[in-house]
Structure 1
Amino acid sequence: MADGFSVLLPVYAGDDAGHFRQAVSSATAQQSLRPAELVVVRDGPVGEALAEVLRELKEAGPTSPAGDVPVRIVELADNQGLAVALERGLAACAHEIVARADADDISLPQRFAVQVPLVAGGLDLLGSAITEFVDDPAVPGMSRVLPAQAAEISATARFRDPFNHPSVVYRRSAVSRAGGYQHLDLLEDYWLFARMIATGARVANVPEPLVLYRVGAGAYRRRGGVRLLKAELQLQWRFRAAGFTSVPQFLRNVVVRGGYRLVPEPARRLAYRRMISPARR
Protein backbone atom coordinates (compact mmCIF):
# COMPACT_ATOMS: atom_id res chain seq x y z
CA MET A 1 0.00 0.00 0.00
CA ALA A 2 1.28 3.45 -0.90
CA ASP A 3 0.64 4.92 2.55
CA GLY A 4 1.48 1.78 4.49
CA PHE A 5 -0.17 0.36 7.57
CA SER A 6 0.74 -0.44 11.17
CA VAL A 7 0.51 -3.68 13.12
CA LEU A 8 -0.40 -3.28 16.80
CA LEU A 9 0.64 -6.11 19.12
CA PRO A 10 0.48 -6.00 22.95
CA VAL A 11 2.54 -8.27 25.18
CA TYR A 12 2.58 -8.81 28.95
CA ALA A 13 4.30 -10.98 31.55
CA GLY A 14 1.86 -13.86 31.09
CA ASP A 15 2.76 -14.40 27.43
CA ASP A 16 5.13 -17.11 26.21
CA ALA A 17 8.36 -15.83 24.63
CA GLY A 18 8.42 -18.48 21.89
CA HIS A 19 4.81 -17.81 20.96
CA PHE A 20 5.50 -14.06 20.98
CA ARG A 21 8.46 -14.43 18.63
CA GLN A 22 6.38 -16.59 16.28
CA ALA A 23 3.46 -14.12 16.37
CA VAL A 24 5.76 -11.21 15.51
CA SER A 25 7.39 -13.02 12.60
CA SER A 26 4.07 -14.16 11.19
CA ALA A 27 2.69 -10.59 11.22
CA THR A 28 5.79 -8.98 9.71
CA ALA A 29 8.63 -10.84 8.02
CA GLN A 30 6.44 -13.70 6.78
CA GLN A 31 3.68 -11.56 5.26
CA SER A 32 3.37 -11.26 1.49
CA LEU A 33 2.24 -7.65 2.11
CA ARG A 34 4.44 -6.35 4.89
CA PRO A 35 3.44 -3.56 7.28
CA ALA A 36 5.24 -0.23 7.34
CA GLU A 37 5.79 -0.65 11.08
CA LEU A 38 5.17 -2.90 14.04
CA VAL A 39 4.06 -1.23 17.27
CA VAL A 40 4.58 -3.47 20.31
CA VAL A 41 3.12 -2.42 23.67
CA ARG A 42 4.89 -3.94 26.64
CA ASP A 43 2.15 -3.85 29.26
CA GLY A 44 4.23 -3.72 32.44
CA PRO A 45 7.39 -5.61 33.46
CA VAL A 46 8.11 -8.93 31.76
CA GLY A 47 10.44 -11.83 32.48
CA GLU A 48 13.87 -12.35 30.96
CA ALA A 49 12.71 -14.55 28.06
CA LEU A 50 10.23 -11.95 26.80
CA ALA A 51 12.71 -9.16 27.50
CA GLU A 52 15.23 -10.91 25.24
CA VAL A 53 12.76 -10.97 22.35
CA LEU A 54 12.05 -7.27 22.91
CA ARG A 55 15.80 -6.55 22.81
CA GLU A 56 16.03 -8.40 19.50
CA LEU A 57 13.23 -6.23 18.16
CA LYS A 58 14.89 -3.03 19.37
CA GLU A 59 18.22 -3.92 17.80
CA ALA A 60 16.65 -4.93 14.48
CA GLY A 61 19.01 -6.54 11.99
CA PRO A 62 19.01 -10.11 10.63
CA THR A 63 18.22 -11.70 14.00
CA SER A 64 15.07 -9.65 14.55
CA PRO A 65 11.83 -11.67 14.43
CA ALA A 66 10.34 -8.75 12.47
CA GLY A 67 12.91 -8.95 9.69
CA ASP A 68 13.34 -5.54 8.05
CA VAL A 69 10.02 -4.15 9.32
CA PRO A 70 10.64 -1.13 11.60
CA VAL A 71 9.60 -1.71 15.21
CA ARG A 72 8.37 0.80 17.76
CA ILE A 73 8.08 -0.38 21.37
CA VAL A 74 5.80 1.39 23.83
CA GLU A 75 6.79 0.48 27.39
CA LEU A 76 4.28 0.85 30.21
CA ALA A 77 5.88 0.88 33.66
CA ASP A 78 3.02 -1.08 35.21
CA ASN A 79 0.54 -3.59 33.87
CA GLN A 80 -2.53 -1.52 33.03
CA GLY A 81 -4.66 -4.00 31.10
CA LEU A 82 -5.54 -4.51 27.48
CA ALA A 83 -7.69 -1.42 26.93
CA VAL A 84 -5.01 1.00 28.15
CA ALA A 85 -2.25 -0.88 26.32
CA LEU A 86 -4.12 -0.77 23.02
CA GLU A 87 -5.04 2.91 23.41
CA ARG A 88 -1.39 3.76 24.04
CA GLY A 89 -0.38 1.64 21.10
CA LEU A 90 -2.91 3.23 18.76
CA ALA A 91 -1.61 6.66 19.74
CA ALA A 92 1.88 5.53 18.72
CA CYS A 93 0.84 4.12 15.34
CA ALA A 94 1.92 6.28 12.43
CA HIS A 95 -0.72 5.08 9.99
CA GLU A 96 -4.48 5.35 9.62
CA ILE A 97 -4.90 1.65 8.87
CA VAL A 98 -3.97 -0.58 11.82
CA ALA A 99 -3.97 -4.37 11.97
CA ARG A 100 -4.31 -6.11 15.33
CA ALA A 101 -2.26 -9.12 16.31
CA ASP A 102 -1.95 -11.03 19.57
CA ALA A 103 1.22 -12.37 21.17
CA ASP A 104 0.25 -16.03 20.91
CA ASP A 105 -1.51 -16.32 17.54
CA ILE A 106 -0.21 -16.76 14.00
CA SER A 107 -1.13 -14.55 11.05
CA LEU A 108 -1.15 -16.52 7.80
CA PRO A 109 1.17 -15.12 5.08
CA GLN A 110 -1.65 -13.80 2.89
CA ARG A 111 -3.55 -12.11 5.72
CA PHE A 112 -2.68 -8.48 5.05
CA ALA A 113 -2.64 -8.89 1.28
CA VAL A 114 -6.30 -9.89 1.61
CA GLN A 115 -7.46 -7.49 4.32
CA VAL A 116 -5.57 -4.23 3.93
CA PRO A 117 -6.72 -3.41 0.36
CA LEU A 118 -10.34 -3.89 1.48
CA VAL A 119 -9.92 -1.41 4.33
CA ALA A 120 -8.02 0.98 2.07
CA GLY A 121 -10.97 0.68 -0.33
CA GLY A 122 -13.43 2.10 2.20
CA LEU A 123 -14.11 -0.27 5.10
CA ASP A 124 -13.62 0.91 8.68
CA LEU A 125 -13.46 -2.47 10.40
CA LEU A 126 -12.69 -5.82 8.82
CA GLY A 127 -12.23 -9.18 10.49
CA SER A 128 -11.68 -12.68 9.21
CA ALA A 129 -12.36 -16.25 10.14
CA ILE A 130 -9.87 -17.94 12.45
CA THR A 131 -8.80 -21.56 12.81
CA GLU A 132 -8.04 -22.92 16.27
CA PHE A 133 -5.05 -25.07 17.14
CA VAL A 134 -3.65 -26.44 20.41
CA ASP A 135 0.09 -27.09 20.16
CA ASP A 136 0.94 -27.60 16.51
CA PRO A 137 -0.41 -25.09 13.95
CA ALA A 138 -0.06 -27.79 11.31
CA VAL A 139 -2.83 -29.70 13.11
CA PRO A 140 -5.82 -27.35 12.84
CA GLY A 141 -8.97 -27.60 14.88
CA MET A 142 -12.32 -26.04 14.13
CA SER A 143 -12.71 -22.75 12.31
CA ARG A 144 -14.80 -19.85 13.51
CA VAL A 145 -16.39 -18.12 10.50
CA LEU A 146 -18.52 -15.09 11.35
CA PRO A 147 -21.11 -13.17 9.28
CA ALA A 148 -19.58 -11.43 6.27
CA GLN A 149 -22.00 -8.61 5.44
CA ALA A 150 -22.77 -5.46 7.43
CA ALA A 151 -26.47 -6.11 8.08
CA GLU A 152 -25.86 -9.60 9.42
CA ILE A 153 -22.88 -8.41 11.46
CA SER A 154 -25.02 -5.71 13.06
CA ALA A 155 -27.77 -8.20 13.91
CA THR A 156 -25.29 -10.73 15.31
CA ALA A 157 -23.60 -8.07 17.45
CA ARG A 158 -26.73 -7.80 19.59
CA PHE A 159 -26.17 -11.35 20.79
CA ARG A 160 -22.48 -12.18 20.39
CA ASP A 161 -19.21 -10.67 19.26
CA PRO A 162 -19.32 -10.53 15.44
CA PHE A 163 -15.54 -10.24 15.05
CA ASN A 164 -12.54 -12.34 15.99
CA HIS A 165 -10.42 -9.69 17.70
CA PRO A 166 -6.94 -11.02 16.73
CA SER A 167 -8.04 -10.92 13.08
CA VAL A 168 -9.26 -7.33 12.75
CA VAL A 169 -7.90 -4.50 10.65
CA TYR A 170 -9.42 -1.07 11.21
CA ARG A 171 -9.12 2.66 10.69
CA ARG A 172 -7.78 4.59 13.66
CA SER A 173 -10.25 7.39 12.96
CA ALA A 174 -13.21 5.00 13.19
CA VAL A 175 -11.94 3.59 16.49
CA SER A 176 -11.49 7.12 17.83
CA ARG A 177 -14.95 8.18 16.63
CA ALA A 178 -16.46 5.34 18.68
CA GLY A 179 -14.58 6.40 21.81
CA GLY A 180 -11.61 4.05 21.54
CA TYR A 181 -10.85 1.06 23.72
CA GLN A 182 -12.51 1.36 27.12
CA HIS A 183 -11.83 -0.88 30.09
CA LEU A 184 -14.27 -3.75 30.45
CA ASP A 185 -12.56 -6.74 31.96
CA LEU A 186 -12.03 -9.44 29.29
CA LEU A 187 -14.61 -7.93 26.89
CA GLU A 188 -12.98 -4.67 25.74
CA ASP A 189 -13.00 -5.71 22.10
CA TYR A 190 -16.70 -6.60 21.94
CA TRP A 191 -17.64 -3.31 23.60
CA LEU A 192 -15.54 -1.37 21.08
CA PHE A 193 -16.94 -3.20 18.05
CA ALA A 194 -20.53 -2.61 19.20
CA ARG A 195 -19.84 1.11 19.54
CA MET A 196 -18.19 1.21 16.13
CA ILE A 197 -21.26 -0.40 14.58
CA ALA A 198 -23.52 2.03 16.45
CA THR A 199 -21.54 5.02 15.16
CA GLY A 200 -21.88 3.94 11.55
CA ALA A 201 -18.61 2.15 10.87
CA ARG A 202 -18.48 0.29 7.56
CA VAL A 203 -17.88 -3.31 8.58
CA ALA A 204 -17.31 -6.72 7.02
CA ASN A 205 -15.68 -10.10 7.63
CA VAL A 206 -13.59 -12.22 5.29
CA PRO A 207 -14.87 -15.82 5.40
CA GLU A 208 -11.37 -17.15 4.75
CA PRO A 209 -9.42 -18.08 7.92
CA LEU A 210 -6.45 -15.71 8.04
CA VAL A 211 -5.31 -16.27 11.64
CA LEU A 212 -4.38 -19.44 13.50
CA TYR A 213 -5.77 -18.98 17.00
CA ARG A 214 -3.92 -20.75 19.81
CA VAL A 215 -6.11 -22.48 22.37
CA GLY A 216 -4.87 -24.43 25.37
CA ALA A 217 -6.30 -26.96 27.75
CA GLY A 218 -7.93 -24.16 29.74
CA ALA A 219 -9.62 -22.41 26.83
CA TYR A 220 -13.16 -23.40 27.77
CA ARG A 221 -12.53 -22.83 31.47
CA ARG A 222 -11.48 -19.24 30.70
CA ARG A 223 -14.78 -18.62 28.92
CA GLY A 224 -16.62 -19.04 32.20
CA GLY A 225 -16.45 -18.27 35.88
CA VAL A 226 -17.53 -15.49 38.22
CA ARG A 227 -15.07 -12.95 36.84
CA LEU A 228 -16.35 -13.34 33.31
CA LEU A 229 -19.95 -13.38 34.50
CA LYS A 230 -19.43 -9.99 36.15
CA ALA A 231 -17.89 -8.63 32.95
CA GLU A 232 -20.74 -10.08 30.91
CA LEU A 233 -23.37 -8.39 33.06
CA GLN A 234 -21.50 -5.07 32.83
CA LEU A 235 -21.38 -5.40 29.07
CA GLN A 236 -25.10 -6.11 28.82
CA TRP A 237 -25.94 -3.12 31.03
CA ARG A 238 -23.79 -0.90 28.80
CA PHE A 239 -25.49 -2.22 25.67
CA ARG A 240 -28.92 -1.50 27.13
CA ALA A 241 -27.95 1.95 28.45
CA ALA A 242 -26.55 2.90 25.04
CA GLY A 243 -29.69 1.69 23.29
CA PHE A 244 -27.69 -0.92 21.41
CA THR A 245 -30.01 -3.70 22.57
CA SER A 246 -33.74 -3.75 23.24
CA VAL A 247 -35.23 -4.84 26.56
CA PRO A 248 -36.05 -8.35 25.22
CA GLN A 249 -32.54 -8.66 23.78
CA PHE A 250 -31.05 -7.52 27.08
CA LEU A 251 -33.06 -10.07 29.06
CA ARG A 252 -32.22 -12.85 26.62
CA ASN A 253 -28.50 -12.04 26.82
CA VAL A 254 -28.46 -11.92 30.61
CA VAL A 255 -30.10 -15.35 30.77
CA VAL A 256 -28.32 -17.07 27.87
CA ARG A 257 -24.89 -15.45 27.90
CA GLY A 258 -24.84 -15.11 31.68
CA GLY A 259 -25.90 -18.72 32.10
CA TYR A 260 -23.19 -19.83 29.66
CA ARG A 261 -20.57 -18.36 32.00
CA LEU A 262 -21.82 -20.48 34.91
CA VAL A 263 -22.49 -23.91 33.44
CA PRO A 264 -19.89 -26.67 33.99
CA GLU A 265 -16.97 -26.69 31.58
CA PRO A 266 -18.11 -29.76 29.55
CA ALA A 267 -21.47 -28.12 28.90
CA ARG A 268 -19.75 -24.86 27.96
CA ARG A 269 -17.54 -26.74 25.50
CA LEU A 270 -20.59 -28.34 23.85
CA ALA A 271 -22.51 -25.04 23.74
CA TYR A 272 -19.57 -23.23 22.15
CA ARG A 273 -19.17 -25.87 19.45
CA ARG A 274 -22.88 -25.77 18.66
CA MET A 275 -22.85 -21.98 18.57
CA ILE A 276 -20.14 -21.78 15.94
CA SER A 277 -21.04 -24.92 13.98
CA PRO A 278 -23.51 -23.16 11.63
CA ALA A 279 -20.70 -20.81 10.65
CA ARG A 280 -18.16 -23.53 9.90
CA ARG A 281 -17.07 -24.13 6.32
Structure 2
Amino acid sequence: MSVYAKDSADHLERALTSAVLDQSLYPDEVVLVQDGPVGVALERTIERFVASCPVPVHHLVMPENRGLAAALTLGLQSCSHDIVARMDADDIAMPHRFERQLAAFHDRRLDLLGTGMFEFAENGSGIVARRTPPVGERIDGFARFHDPFNHPTVVYRRSAVLRAGGYRPMGLMEDYWLFARMIMTKAAVDNLAEPLLMYRVDSGAYSRRGGLGQLRAELRLQRAFRHSGFTTSGQMARNIIVRGGYRLIPTAIRRALYRATLARKDDGVDRSSAEVGR
Protein backbone atom coordinates (compact mmCIF):
# COMPACT_ATOMS: atom_id res chain seq x y z
CA MET A 1 0.00 0.00 0.00
CA SER A 2 1.23 3.49 -0.87
CA VAL A 3 0.11 6.64 0.96
CA TYR A 4 0.80 10.30 0.16
CA ALA A 5 -0.07 13.76 1.44
CA LYS A 6 -3.47 14.06 -0.23
CA ASP A 7 -4.82 10.85 1.28
CA SER A 8 -7.29 11.07 4.16
CA ALA A 9 -6.19 9.85 7.59
CA ASP A 10 -9.66 8.44 8.26
CA HIS A 11 -9.72 6.60 4.94
CA LEU A 12 -6.23 5.20 5.52
CA GLU A 13 -7.18 3.92 8.97
CA ARG A 14 -10.28 2.22 7.55
CA ALA A 15 -8.28 0.70 4.67
CA LEU A 16 -5.59 -0.69 6.96
CA THR A 17 -8.14 -2.06 9.42
CA SER A 18 -10.03 -3.81 6.64
CA ALA A 19 -6.83 -5.30 5.22
CA VAL A 20 -5.61 -6.75 8.53
CA LEU A 21 -7.88 -6.74 11.56
CA ASP A 22 -11.11 -7.46 9.68
CA GLN A 23 -9.67 -10.26 7.52
CA SER A 24 -10.59 -13.91 8.06
CA LEU A 25 -7.00 -14.64 6.99
CA TYR A 26 -4.37 -12.22 8.28
CA PRO A 27 -1.50 -11.16 6.02
CA ASP A 28 1.99 -12.16 7.20
CA GLU A 29 3.20 -8.56 7.00
CA VAL A 30 2.18 -5.09 5.83
CA VAL A 31 4.45 -2.98 3.63
CA LEU A 32 3.32 0.66 3.79
CA VAL A 33 5.20 3.12 1.57
CA GLN A 34 4.92 6.80 2.47
CA ASP A 35 5.39 8.64 -0.81
CA GLY A 36 6.89 11.92 0.42
CA PRO A 37 6.01 14.11 3.42
CA VAL A 38 2.50 13.79 4.86
CA GLY A 39 0.54 15.86 7.36
CA VAL A 40 0.24 15.39 11.10
CA ALA A 41 -3.05 13.46 10.91
CA LEU A 42 -1.62 10.87 8.52
CA GLU A 43 1.57 10.58 10.56
CA ARG A 44 -0.40 9.87 13.72
CA THR A 45 -2.60 7.31 11.97
CA ILE A 46 0.46 5.50 10.65
CA GLU A 47 2.18 5.59 14.04
CA ARG A 48 -0.88 4.11 15.77
CA PHE A 49 -1.22 1.38 13.22
CA VAL A 50 2.46 0.42 13.32
CA ALA A 51 2.36 0.27 17.13
CA SER A 52 -0.82 -1.77 17.42
CA CYS A 53 -0.83 -4.00 14.33
CA PRO A 54 -0.74 -7.74 15.17
CA VAL A 55 1.53 -8.46 12.17
CA PRO A 56 4.88 -6.82 11.29
CA VAL A 57 4.61 -3.47 9.49
CA HIS A 58 7.41 -2.16 7.28
CA HIS A 59 6.88 1.62 7.11
CA LEU A 60 9.07 2.98 4.32
CA VAL A 61 9.43 6.75 3.93
CA MET A 62 10.43 8.35 0.63
CA PRO A 63 11.92 11.83 1.18
CA GLU A 64 9.89 13.34 -1.67
CA ASN A 65 6.75 12.48 -3.61
CA ARG A 66 7.78 10.42 -6.64
CA GLY A 67 4.51 8.84 -7.71
CA LEU A 68 2.85 5.45 -7.50
CA ALA A 69 5.25 3.53 -9.77
CA ALA A 70 8.28 4.51 -7.68
CA ALA A 71 6.45 3.87 -4.39
CA LEU A 72 5.28 0.40 -5.41
CA THR A 73 8.72 -0.47 -6.75
CA LEU A 74 10.23 0.38 -3.37
CA GLY A 75 7.48 -1.57 -1.63
CA LEU A 76 8.05 -4.70 -3.71
CA GLN A 77 11.76 -4.56 -2.96
CA SER A 78 10.93 -4.65 0.74
CA CYS A 79 8.43 -7.52 0.69
CA SER A 80 9.62 -10.59 2.58
CA HIS A 81 7.37 -12.97 0.65
CA ASP A 82 6.82 -13.78 -3.01
CA ILE A 83 3.00 -13.56 -2.91
CA VAL A 84 1.91 -9.94 -2.51
CA ALA A 85 -1.53 -8.33 -2.30
CA ARG A 86 -2.12 -4.78 -3.54
CA MET A 87 -4.50 -2.23 -2.09
CA ASP A 88 -5.02 1.54 -2.19
CA ALA A 89 -4.99 3.77 0.88
CA ASP A 90 -8.65 4.74 0.68
CA ASP A 91 -10.38 1.47 -0.24
CA ILE A 92 -12.00 -1.22 1.89
CA ALA A 93 -11.23 -4.93 1.57
CA MET A 94 -14.03 -7.43 2.07
CA PRO A 95 -13.39 -9.56 5.20
CA HIS A 96 -12.89 -12.74 3.17
CA ARG A 97 -10.76 -11.15 0.42
CA PHE A 98 -7.41 -12.80 1.20
CA GLU A 99 -8.95 -16.15 2.12
CA ARG A 100 -10.84 -16.36 -1.20
CA GLN A 101 -8.02 -15.04 -3.35
CA LEU A 102 -5.23 -17.15 -1.90
CA ALA A 103 -7.26 -20.33 -2.20
CA ALA A 104 -7.94 -19.68 -5.89
CA PHE A 105 -4.39 -18.41 -6.44
CA HIS A 106 -2.86 -21.66 -5.21
CA ASP A 107 -5.49 -23.97 -6.72
CA ARG A 108 -4.96 -22.48 -10.18
CA ARG A 109 -1.17 -22.09 -9.78
CA LEU A 110 -1.31 -18.45 -10.81
CA ASP A 111 1.11 -15.56 -11.01
CA LEU A 112 -1.61 -12.89 -10.80
CA LEU A 113 -5.23 -12.94 -9.67
CA GLY A 114 -7.56 -9.95 -9.65
CA THR A 115 -11.18 -9.70 -8.56
CA GLY A 116 -14.30 -7.71 -9.15
CA MET A 117 -15.00 -4.67 -7.01
CA PHE A 118 -17.78 -2.33 -6.00
CA GLU A 119 -17.44 1.42 -6.47
CA PHE A 120 -18.82 3.49 -3.63
CA ALA A 121 -19.30 7.23 -3.56
CA GLU A 122 -17.31 9.70 -1.53
CA ASN A 123 -20.53 11.46 -0.52
CA GLY A 124 -21.84 8.42 1.31
CA SER A 125 -24.54 7.57 -1.23
CA GLY A 126 -23.51 3.91 -1.17
CA ILE A 127 -22.54 1.54 -3.98
CA VAL A 128 -22.80 3.26 -7.34
CA ALA A 129 -21.38 0.58 -9.67
CA ARG A 130 -19.79 -2.82 -9.91
CA ARG A 131 -16.71 -3.62 -11.98
CA THR A 132 -16.67 -7.23 -13.11
CA PRO A 133 -13.41 -8.11 -14.88
CA PRO A 134 -12.97 -10.68 -17.68
CA VAL A 135 -12.11 -14.21 -16.60
CA GLY A 136 -10.19 -17.08 -18.13
CA GLU A 137 -9.54 -17.01 -21.88
CA ARG A 138 -11.33 -13.67 -22.32
CA ILE A 139 -8.51 -11.81 -20.55
CA ASP A 140 -5.98 -11.98 -23.39
CA GLY A 141 -8.17 -10.39 -26.05
CA PHE A 142 -9.79 -7.96 -23.64
CA ALA A 143 -6.36 -6.66 -22.58
CA ARG A 144 -5.65 -5.26 -26.07
CA PHE A 145 -8.28 -2.56 -25.49
CA HIS A 146 -8.94 -2.37 -21.74
CA ASP A 147 -7.00 -2.90 -18.54
CA PRO A 148 -8.10 -6.47 -17.69
CA PHE A 149 -7.46 -6.23 -13.94
CA ASN A 150 -8.71 -3.94 -11.18
CA HIS A 151 -5.33 -2.90 -9.81
CA PRO A 152 -6.28 -2.46 -6.12
CA THR A 153 -7.64 -6.02 -6.05
CA VAL A 154 -4.68 -7.97 -7.41
CA VAL A 155 -2.60 -10.61 -5.70
CA TYR A 156 0.58 -11.44 -7.62
CA ARG A 157 3.94 -13.11 -7.38
CA ARG A 158 6.68 -10.60 -6.75
CA SER A 159 9.00 -12.71 -8.92
CA ALA A 160 6.58 -12.57 -11.87
CA VAL A 161 6.21 -8.79 -11.55
CA LEU A 162 9.98 -8.33 -11.49
CA ARG A 163 10.44 -10.75 -14.41
CA ALA A 164 8.12 -8.51 -16.47
CA GLY A 165 10.17 -5.42 -15.56
CA GLY A 166 8.17 -4.11 -12.60
CA TYR A 167 6.24 -0.86 -12.42
CA ARG A 168 7.23 1.87 -14.89
CA PRO A 169 5.80 5.42 -14.92
CA MET A 170 2.91 5.75 -17.40
CA GLY A 171 0.54 8.48 -16.19
CA LEU A 172 -2.27 6.77 -14.28
CA MET A 173 -1.78 3.60 -16.32
CA GLU A 174 1.41 2.10 -14.90
CA ASP A 175 -0.61 -0.92 -13.80
CA TYR A 176 -1.99 -1.53 -17.31
CA TRP A 177 1.52 -1.41 -18.80
CA LEU A 178 2.77 -3.86 -16.16
CA PHE A 179 -0.12 -6.27 -16.71
CA ALA A 180 0.43 -6.21 -20.49
CA ARG A 181 4.09 -7.13 -20.00
CA MET A 182 3.14 -9.91 -17.58
CA ILE A 183 0.79 -11.35 -20.20
CA MET A 184 3.57 -11.14 -22.80
CA THR A 185 6.00 -12.94 -20.48
CA LYS A 186 3.47 -15.79 -20.18
CA ALA A 187 2.51 -15.17 -16.57
CA ALA A 188 -0.44 -17.29 -15.46
CA VAL A 189 -3.24 -14.77 -14.85
CA ASP A 190 -6.93 -14.86 -14.02
CA ASN A 191 -9.73 -12.99 -12.29
CA LEU A 192 -12.48 -13.79 -9.83
CA ALA A 193 -15.70 -12.09 -10.90
CA GLU A 194 -16.74 -11.79 -7.26
CA PRO A 195 -16.26 -8.26 -5.86
CA LEU A 196 -13.80 -8.50 -2.96
CA LEU A 197 -13.00 -4.81 -2.56
CA MET A 198 -14.87 -1.53 -2.13
CA TYR A 199 -13.28 1.12 -4.36
CA ARG A 200 -13.79 4.73 -3.28
CA VAL A 201 -14.81 7.19 -6.00
CA ASP A 202 -14.11 10.81 -5.05
CA SER A 203 -15.18 14.05 -6.73
CA GLY A 204 -12.04 14.20 -8.90
CA ALA A 205 -12.21 10.64 -10.23
CA TYR A 206 -13.48 11.64 -13.67
CA SER A 207 -11.36 14.75 -14.18
CA ARG A 208 -8.16 12.78 -13.45
CA ARG A 209 -8.93 10.41 -16.32
CA GLY A 210 -8.85 13.26 -18.83
CA GLY A 211 -6.79 16.23 -19.96
CA LEU A 212 -3.67 16.69 -22.05
CA GLY A 213 -1.46 14.97 -19.49
CA GLN A 214 -3.48 11.78 -19.64
CA LEU A 215 -3.71 12.03 -23.44
CA ARG A 216 0.08 12.15 -23.63
CA ALA A 217 0.28 9.17 -21.26
CA GLU A 218 -2.26 7.30 -23.39
CA LEU A 219 -0.22 7.92 -26.54
CA ARG A 220 2.95 6.74 -24.77
CA LEU A 221 1.14 3.61 -23.62
CA GLN A 222 -0.17 2.82 -27.09
CA ARG A 223 3.26 3.33 -28.63
CA ALA A 224 4.75 1.04 -25.98
CA PHE A 225 2.08 -1.60 -26.69
CA ARG A 226 2.79 -1.47 -30.43
CA HIS A 227 6.59 -1.40 -30.07
CA SER A 228 6.50 -4.44 -27.78
CA GLY A 229 4.20 -6.36 -30.12
CA PHE A 230 1.33 -6.43 -27.65
CA THR A 231 -1.02 -4.79 -30.19
CA THR A 232 -1.25 -4.65 -33.96
CA SER A 233 -1.20 -1.44 -35.99
CA GLY A 234 -4.97 -1.62 -36.35
CA GLN A 235 -5.48 -2.12 -32.62
CA MET A 236 -3.17 0.80 -31.91
CA ALA A 237 -5.13 3.07 -34.27
CA ARG A 238 -8.45 2.02 -32.72
CA ASN A 239 -7.14 2.59 -29.20
CA ILE A 240 -5.76 6.04 -30.02
CA ILE A 241 -9.09 7.12 -31.54
CA VAL A 242 -11.36 5.69 -28.83
CA ARG A 243 -9.21 5.84 -25.71
CA GLY A 244 -7.40 9.01 -26.74
CA GLY A 245 -10.66 10.73 -27.60
CA TYR A 246 -12.02 9.80 -24.18
CA ARG A 247 -9.22 11.82 -22.59
CA LEU A 248 -10.23 15.02 -24.40
CA ILE A 249 -13.99 15.16 -23.92
CA PRO A 250 -15.43 17.36 -21.12
CA THR A 251 -15.55 15.82 -17.67
CA ALA A 252 -19.37 15.75 -17.58
CA ILE A 253 -19.52 13.74 -20.81
CA ARG A 254 -16.70 11.49 -19.64
CA ARG A 255 -18.69 10.77 -16.48
CA ALA A 256 -21.80 9.97 -18.51
CA LEU A 257 -19.90 7.64 -20.85
CA TYR A 258 -18.26 5.91 -17.94
CA ARG A 259 -21.58 5.37 -16.21
CA ALA A 260 -23.21 4.22 -19.46
CA THR A 261 -20.52 1.53 -19.76
CA LEU A 262 -20.51 0.45 -16.14
CA ALA A 263 -24.09 0.97 -15.10
CA ARG A 264 -25.92 -1.86 -16.81
CA LYS A 265 -28.11 -2.64 -13.88
CA ASP A 266 -29.47 -6.10 -13.16
CA ASP A 267 -31.80 -6.18 -10.18
CA GLY A 268 -30.16 -3.00 -8.96
CA VAL A 269 -26.59 -4.37 -9.11
CA ASP A 270 -24.09 -3.36 -11.80
CA ARG A 271 -22.80 -6.32 -13.81
CA SER A 272 -20.82 -4.62 -16.60
CA SER A 273 -17.39 -5.77 -17.67
CA ALA A 274 -15.35 -2.71 -18.58
CA GLU A 275 -14.57 0.92 -18.15
CA VAL A 276 -14.14 2.78 -21.47
CA GLY A 277 -11.30 4.98 -20.28
CA ARG A 278 -9.08 2.64 -18.23
The answer to whether the superposition gives a TM-score over 0.5 is yes
C-alpha separation in 1, matches of 2:185 and 2:70: 21
Match of 1:140 in 2: 127
Q: What is the deviation of 1:97?
A: 0.5
SS in structure 2 at match of 1:162:
coil
AA in 1 matched with 2:122: D
Candidates 49, 55, 59, aligned match of 2:41: 49
Q: What is the deviation of 1:266?
A: 2.3
1:127 equivalent in alignment to 2:104? no
C-alpha separation in 2, matches of 1:92 and 1:28: 18
Unaligned ranges ≥5, structure 2: 265-269, 273-278
AA in 2 matched with 1:52: R
8 Å contact from structure 1 (residues 119, 125) kept in 2: yes
8 Å contact from structure 1 (residues 97, 120) kept in 2: no
C-alpha separation in 2, matches of 1:111 and 1:142: 19
Q: What is the deviation of 1:69?
A: 2.1
1:73 equivalent in alignment to 2:34? no
Match of 2:171 in 1: 185
AA in 1 matched with 2:14: Q
C-alpha separation in 2, matches of 1:242 and 1:165: 22
Describe how 1:1-281 pairs up with structure 2 within 5 A: 9-60=1-52, 67-121=53-107, 122-135=109-122, 139-149=126-136, 151-277=137-263, 280=271
Does 132-141 or 172-181 show the bigger shift?
A: 132-141
Q: What is the deviation of 1:200?
A: 0.4
Q: What is the deviation of 1:104?
A: 0.5
8 Å contact from structure 1 (residues 137, 212) kept in 2: no
C-alpha separation in 2, matches of 1:117 and 1:69: 21
SS in structure 2 at match of 1:102:
coil
8 Å contact from structure 1 (residues 129, 167) kept in 2: yes
SS in structure 2 at match of 1:185:
coil
Unaligned ranges ≥5, structure 1: 1-8, 61-66
Q: TM-score, normalised by structure 2?
A: 0.92
SS in structure 2 at match of 1:31:
coil
Q: What is the deviation of 1:137?
A: 6.7
Q: What are the superposed Cα offsets for residues 20-70 of structure 1, whole Å, 9 maximum, x if unpaired? A: 01000001110001100010001111110001012113323xxxxxx4122
SS in structure 1 at match of 2:146:
coil
C-alpha separation in 1, matches of 2:95 and 2:232: 41
Q: TM-score, normalised by structure 1?
A: 0.91
SS in structure 1 at match of 2:128:
coil
8 Å contact from structure 2 (residues 23, 97) kept in 1: yes
8 Å contact from structure 2 (residues 13, 45) kept in 1: yes
SS in structure 2 at match of 1:222:
helix
Does 127-136 or 174-183 show the bigger shift?
A: 127-136
SS in structure 2 at match of 1:84:
helix
Does 243-252 or 179-188 show the bigger shift?
A: 179-188
SS in structure 2 at match of 1:219:
coil
AA in 1 matched with 2:157: R
AA in 1 matched with 2:41: A
8 Å contact from structure 2 (residues 122, 203) kept in 1: no
Q: What is the deviation of 1:139?
A: 1.9
Query: Percent identical across equivalent pairs?
Result: 51
Q: What are the superposed Cα offsets for residues 216-254 of structure 1, whole Å, 9 maximum, x if unpaired? A: 122212211111111111100100000100000000000
C-alpha separation in 2, matches of 1:112 and 1:37: 13
8 Å contact from structure 1 (residues 13, 44) kept in 2: yes
8 Å contact from structure 2 (residues 129, 262) kept in 1: no
Q: What is the deviation of 1:136?
A: 6.6
